[in-house]
Structure 1
């Protein structure tokens, strides 16, 4: 997956960040028994996907036709030398 640079965009990082905050809110709400706050946290987590998609459509995602592949390394791999 790292060879294709999957998710290395502003849209992806923002979407994951918003979802992470939503899951943190839901987790805290489970410790402090608050079903309403759990629901709010899960809604915020779901909004992370929407934010990521909207930002991608606005041009902050992976550009169509661009292939972010890792360049092959010409370095000799580190090994035991056997």
Structure 2
């Protein structure tokens, strides 16, 4: 099952806008200008909103349907078998 790990237009756009907002807010913290800090925080929020809107418009990663009950049980069984201790062998 391949995933894009968030490499979508919505994720990139939201992250870049939020990063710019973080840089603006940080610069104004250093300059001791509260209005600039608030403006930077607004830009960060705008990045989240814009990224969410883009995702809703279909430019984000689609949700995985998840595992069925049978797939989950098979996965659990395989995991238990792979990690079962071998009798008579010292665990290092």
Q: TM-score, normalised by structure 2?
A: 0.63
* Alpha-carbon displacement from aligned partner over 1:4-46 (angstroms, at most 9, x marks no partner): 3221100000000000000000011011110010011011111
Matched length: 64
Highest Rg: 1 or 2?
2
The structure in which a higher percent of residues are helix is 2
Q: TM-score, normalised by structure 1?
A: 0.70
Give structure 1 regions of 4+ aligned residues with deviation exceeding 6 angstroms: none
Structure 1: runs of 5+ lacking an equivalent: 67-82
The residue number in structure 2 matching 1:35 is 34
Larger relative contact order (C-alpha < 8 A, sep ≥ 6)?
A: 1
Task: Name the Cα RMSD after superposition.
Answer: 1.8
